[in-house]
Amino acid sequence: MNSGTKQSPMELSFRAGELMVRYAATLDAGELETWAGMFSDTASYTVASAENVKEGWPLLLINDADRSRIGDRVRYVREFWAGNYNDYTTRHVLSLPRVLASDAAGIEFEQSFSLYLTETDLSGGQGGHSSLLCVGRYVCRTEGLDELCRISRLQAVLDTFTLTRSLVYPV
């Protein structure tokens, strides 16, 4: 689809959904470098509790305020956290996105998610125990409207401010 052509709400929703399916799939596959490449040069990635967002409180669980911090997150997981925590794999379950606004520069939308984790054993195999890590919604803005659009702002808003374990991987 040409980004210069006016897109219908259904086309915009499809484009947003397609982007987030790729987003979730790269995280679930452990492809953190690919995940980081989905963000624009001026992007931000944050994770906050719904309570803090509702009250306007600035406390964030993750604050990658610019593109370099997103890259640092990948490096920290690969170099620092590796071997220092009980590893797990993730599985995202996504709702359909709801487009909030769009213009020639991109799409703003929100989308609900559930994020499950499965423990891995010390040899890297699946441990067989899965549990819910967090539930919430993504509030996202894209840069561009076509199939090459990238994320310019993504905030994961978690329904609760407490988690059963540390966030190692991006949400």
In a domain, 165, yes or no: no
In degrees, to the nearest 5, what angle opens at C-alpha 113 toward C-alphas 157 and 33?
Answer: 85
Kindly state whether residue 153 falls inside one of the protein's structural domains: yes
CATH label of the domain that carries residue 101:
3.10.450.50
Residue 38 lies in a domain: yes
**Quick check: is 95 in a domain?**
yes
What is the amino acid identity at position 170? P
Predicted confidence band of residue 2 (pLDDT cuts 50, 70, 90): very low
In this structure, is residue 106 part of a structural domain? yes
Domain extent, residue 142, equals 9-158
The DSSP string of the chain is: --TTSPPPHHHHHHHHHHHHHHHHHHHHTT-HHHHHTTEEEEEEEEEEEHHHHHHT----SEEE-SHHHHHHHHHIIIIIITTSS--EEEEEEE---EEEEEETTEEEEEEEEEEEEEEE-TTSSEEEEEEEEEEEEEEEEEE-SSTT-EEEEEEEEES-S--SS---S--
- Structural domain count of the chain: 1
Q: What is the pLDDT of residue 86?
A: 76
In a domain, 163, yes or no: no
Average pLDDT over residues 143-167: 90
In a domain, 121, yes or no: yes
Distance CA 142, CA 132 (A): 28
pLDDT in tens, 33-81: 999 999 999 999 999 999 999 999 999 999 999 999 999 999 999 998 8
- Domain presence at residue 69: yes
Q: Which long-range contacts (CB under 8 A, 24 or more apart) does 59-63 make?
A: 61/158, 61/167, 62/156, 62/167, 62/170, 62/171
**What is the pLDDT, as a whole number, of residue 82?**
77
pLDDT at 1: 41
Higher-scoring residue by pLDDT: 38, 161: 38
